Structure 1
Amino acid sequence: MSFPPELWDGVLRRLGAELPRHALEAWVHPLHAETGPGGLRLLCPSAFHRARIEARWLARIERCAAAEAGRPVAVCLEVQERCAVGSIPAETVVSEAVSTKAAVGERSDADPAAVASARPAALTPRSAPRQPMLPHTFDSFVVGPANALAREATLAVARDAQRPLNPLFLVSDSGLGKTHLSRAALGEALRRGRERCIYESAESFTNHFMTSIRDRSMDRFKRRYRQDCEMLLLEDVQFLRGKSATQLELFHTLSHLIDAGVRVILTGDRLPRDIDGLDPRLRSRMGAGLVAEIEPPDAALRREILRSKASHGGVRIPEPCLDLLVESLRGSVRDLEGVLIQLVASASLLKRPIDLELTRRALHKLAPMDPHEACLDVGTVVRTVAAFFGSSPELLAARTRRRDVLAQRQLAMYLCRQYTDAPLVAIARAFGRDHPSAANAIRRVERAILERAPLRYQVEELAARLDRLRRG
């Protein structure tokens, strides 16, 4: 079934009720929308504009589109025709990206008039073919020995090609590609006409279940997850540890869906057999199909990932710098992305080409800590941040929406992610928040570090204090 042309008008109305005017004018209104059987395609004026929409607004746009259409809508981001990537000097693209970022930041207390007047630089269209910049597709997933099985298995399930794989369980540490593959599978299923797909976290499933019990609407809950579901994608199932009632409901839901031939993809940070506090029946059901592990990328894959992400932004990394990054970064794909963002932004802010010295600086600031150094606990990080700002740990976990406390809380969440081995769910609980709120706060800080010098200085000072604590 095709989506009507009026879909985007409805999405704009919904966004207008939620977003500040300057955000709409600077980021949403420049988009050109096209609708069709596959969903909603949004054409962005530049690669940087597309990257900002993906990071800041894509989830909200998808939610508004689904609410407007009454069913899930695949939202595809593309860059409008422009000169080929290889013909753009790295310094030009970097300068355009970061200067636009600095002009239109995320802070709500910025001058609205100044923000509204800032626009991404117009790019003259050329005859080069349009380059789709899809954030979570199978084509944009860089494949190597560490993730090939997971990628092929997810693609097969999305295309309904291998029934014995049901359910598919993707397992890896954080930041290695589980969410990318899950969202790619969702997009593929929607393009193939399976419109009633459910994609959510285990925490969201739990919340829906508890709300249904409280509201006495279990019939509607079961109809949504069993009768009306054509594909279920459930992330971070380790969240279900110790939640016996939710586990029982999920077990019956999975049994119903799998017996009916409905495709199921689950993700977790450990194998089903290693998740403590899980009902044996649910553990057995989760592992009854194919369990595909995603390993940390090897050197060759790290190099290809860096090249791919840099080229999507129109940036060329010199080979010596690439060699240093590949050798120094042995963690997750998210680590690679973080250092790459730091490197590219620094090159623009300092108005200098990317070289070895700049690469070493980026690595020093954002590279993962030495695994031989001790992790801190969440409480230590929170106390350190509170003391730095003259606040208190209790205030950081309070429900207040004071802007100063909100900023301190987000920074503390970010540093907890960097300096502790606590899962994101545990970090969120320490601040009285849920998993999505904590994830959003950390993303905001990651990007704000590149935009605002005062925040960078605060992070560097706090990092120095935490480093001293970590080393004893």
Structure 2
Amino acid sequence: MEIFELWTHVLEEIKIKNPEYYNNFYSFVFPISFSDGIFTAMTTVPYMIPWINAVYKTKLEKILSEKSGMPVKLVLQSQENSEVSAADPVPETSAAPETSGNFGIPPVSSLPDKEKKENPDISFSPYKTEENPEIYEEPVIPDFMNIKPQNPEEVKLPSILDNPSSIRPSAVPLPAKSPEKKFPYKFDDYTFDNFVHGNCNEIAFQSAHAIALSCEEYTDSPDTNYSKKKPKASNYNPLFIYGPSGLGKTHLLLAISNYVKTHRPDLSVLFVTSENFTNELIESIRSGKMQEFREKYRTVDYLLIDDIQFFNGTKESSRMEIFNTFNAIADNDNYIITTSDRTPSDLKDFHERLITRFSSGMIAHISPPDFEICSIILQKKAERSHIDMPEEVISFIAGNVNSSVRELEGAFKQVVGYCQIKNVSLTLENARDALADIIKVDLYSHLSAETIIDTVCKYYNVKKEQVLGKSRPKNVVIPRQMAMYIAREELNDSFPSLEKYFNKDHSTIVHAYERVQKELKNNDRTRKELKDILTLLKRKR
């Protein structure tokens, strides 16, 4: 039988017969080896060796022999590998009768106080000697007949801390460690210099850049009437940047942070995701440290919060704290910059006054990059990577992968990695092979919102006028919501830009999109319908 399996049986027996001592064996005694009928174990607490020899040896050897099917001799070692033999029997005492079937605790007088003299070969002594000064002294039985009463002031009670080795590790309180805040970003990599901007993101870029430049408008001199911030930068505060994922919203937040920290290290800048903000808020409420939380977030010069749409669903108390935090920062004339995947008016479950706060400053939209921006991004990435990428390859990638900057960079890595692994030249043909499975635009050539609507209407057998109209029967609402969902997913258009295709306001389109999302998670029929429609769209390429 394997050594750890055998020791598990021993622990189970102890837990059944004497559960009060189970933790001592489980925590402080460990098996080392088992061969030729000798079971060797080690204890990290030296005083347990004489105790086990006096009380548990016979019982443990009996369990080991029964479970292994052979006679077993127990040998104990201290943590310093000083071996103690358990071969010599210890005289039985009435405190530990074998007939009881249980383990017993012997009186102090039953311990082998002359063990070292009777066994000169044993290198370990359980009592304090010149060779073993670290072990406790030999116990002395008090003379109970001559004990006299004492006043409480005269009695010195022992402390459990006087013998740390007897304390179970689980009972020792450890100082709490504050969790490290880890972000999946290398802050230094995000600057305004390496952010490619154009028509799709110019307003967001210029607004973020102006706020970053405002740090140089601060003054610490009490003798000047110089305004804390120039009106030009104040017009952008608070700044709300929205758009689909992967278009550079986080890049702009980190660029602001880097710029301010570089040019004005004396100013406080705090970048945080909505998830970390919420988790820290909940932990502060739980631990009673709300004052520290408020001082941290309400006194910063620049508060940058990423993906605030995830504040949806938080409790009322959390939303109120968020509102008060934003209010305090705004009242101090400090900057608030937030990002989201939707407009302020599309943020459900938010206080109307908080939405108003977002809307009181600059709202900047970022849309998917056009061909020109994608080409510049690829050229700069190739230059930084010291890769000579042909213009036709850049045009191919830029013309087909334009839903997000993140996917564009992924396509770049895919092509480069494919050519390196295959050891082939970076040509248009090889680029096509590398991206054959990931370019969605190839699958939906010339795909438009009108094509999507027509295909959905044909699939559900409804008229296009009904889908684009105001009627709300179920057989019309489902196709309408499905068409809105597919248009949002496949065209990567923002919710407001889809208004012109469906003659509906963007809040209705957001509701339809989220409704289909929910149905796709829980409804097999909806998943099948979506798959069928996408198959039809592929055939229209």
State the TM-score, normalized to the length of structure 1. 0.51
Q: Please show how residues 37-116 of structure 1 align to structure 2 within 5 Å.
A: none
Give the equivalent residue in structure 2 for 1:179: 250
- Tell me how far 1:232 sits from its aligned partner: 0.3
AA aligned to 1:182 is L
- Superposed, 1:233-312 pairs within 5 Å as 233-243=304-314, 244-312=316-384
Question: Deviation per CA, 1:184-208, whole angstroms, max 9, x where unpaired?
Answer: 0010111122442211111111111
Q: Give the distance between the partners of 1:328 and 1:139, measured in 2 at CA.
A: 26
Aligned-residue offset at 1:468: 9.1
Is residue 2:276 matched to residue 1:212?
Answer: no
Partner of 2:260: 189
1:82-132 deviation digits (Å, cap 9, x = unpaired): xxxxxxxxxxxxxxxxxxxxxxxxxxxxxxxxxxxxxxxxxxxxxxxxxxx
Tell me what 1:442 maps to. Answer: none
Indicate which of 275, 279, 282 corresponds to 1:203.
275
Q: Which runs of 5+ in 2 are unaligned?
A: 1-178, 215-229, 453-488, 493-512, 522-529, 537-541
Determine whether 1:164 maps to 2:235: yes
Which runs of 5 or more residues in structure 1 are unaligned?
Answer: 1-62, 77-133, 375-417, 431-465
User: Residue 146 of structure 1: which of 200, 203, 208 is its match?
Assistant: 200
> Which letter maps to 1:214?
R
Question: How far off its partner does 1:150 sit?
Answer: 0.8
Structure 1 segment 309-348 matched on structure 2, within 5 A = 309-348=381-420
TM superposition shift of 1:303: 0.7
Q: Secondary structure at the match of 2:437?
A: helix
Deviation at 1:367, TM superposition (A): 2.2
Describe the SS at the equivalent of 1:159: helix
Higher helix share: 1
Residue 246 of structure 1: how far off its partner (Å): 2.0
Q: Partners in 1 of 2:533 and 2:422 — Cα distance? A: 32
Q: What CA distance in whole angstroms lies between the structure 2 residues aligned with 1:212 and 1:326?
A: 47
Deviation at 1:279, TM superposition (A): 1.3
Q: Cα RMSD between the aligned structures?
A: 3.1
Match of 2:94 in 1: none
User: What is the identity percentage for the equivalent residue pairs of Structure 1 and Structure 2?
Assistant: 30
Matched with 1:86 is none
Q: Distance in 1 between matches of 2:438 and 2:384?
A: 21
Distance 1:237 1:247 in 2: 11
CA distance in 2, matches of 1:355, 1:252: 56
Tell me, in whole angstroms, the C-alpha distance in 2 between the residues paired with 1:194 and 1:166.
Answer: 21
Q: Secondary structure at the match of 1:224?
A: helix
Q: Structure 1 residue 357 and structure 2 residue 429: aligned?
A: yes
Aligned counterparts of 1:277 and 1:310: Cα–Cα separation in 2? 44
1:224 corresponds to which residue?
296
Tell me the SS of whatever aligns to 2:348: coil
Question: What is the rounded CA distance, in whole Å, between the counterparts of 2:363 and 2:250 in structure 1?
Answer: 15
Q: SS in structure 2 opposite 1:314?
A: coil
Partners in 2 of 1:352 and 1:149 — Cα distance? 41
Shift of residue 323, structure 1, vs aligned partner: 1.7
| CA shift digits 1:294-340 (9 cap, x unpaired) | 11111111111111111110112111112211221221001110110
CA offset digits 1:354-412 (Å, max 9, x no partner) = 111111122222224657799xxxxxxxxxxxxxxxxxxxxxxxxxxxxxxxxxxxxxx
Confirm whether residue 471 of structure 1 aligns to residue 535 of structure 2.
Answer: yes
- Matches of 1:274 and 1:196 in 2, distance apart? 31
Structure 1 segments of 4+ aligned residues over 4 angstroms from their partners: 369-374, 466-470
AA aligned opposite 1:341: K
TM-score by length of 2: 0.45
Given that residues 194 and 230 in structure 1 are in contact (C-alpha distance below 8 angstroms), is that contact kept between their aligned partners in structure 2? no
Counterpart code for 2:346: D
Partner residue of 1:437?
Answer: none
Task: State whether structure 2 residue 439 is matched by structure 1 residue 367.
Answer: yes
Take 1:468 and 1:334, find their aligned partners in 2: how far apart are those partners?
Answer: 28
Shift of residue 230, structure 1, vs aligned partner: 2.0
CA–CA distance in 2 between the matches of 1:255 and 1:159?
23
Tell me if the contact between 1:176 and 1:294 (Cα under 8 Å) persists in the aligned partners.
yes
Q: Is the 8 A contact 1:331 1:368 kept in 2?
A: no
**Alpha carbons 1:248, 1:282 under 8 Å: kept:** no
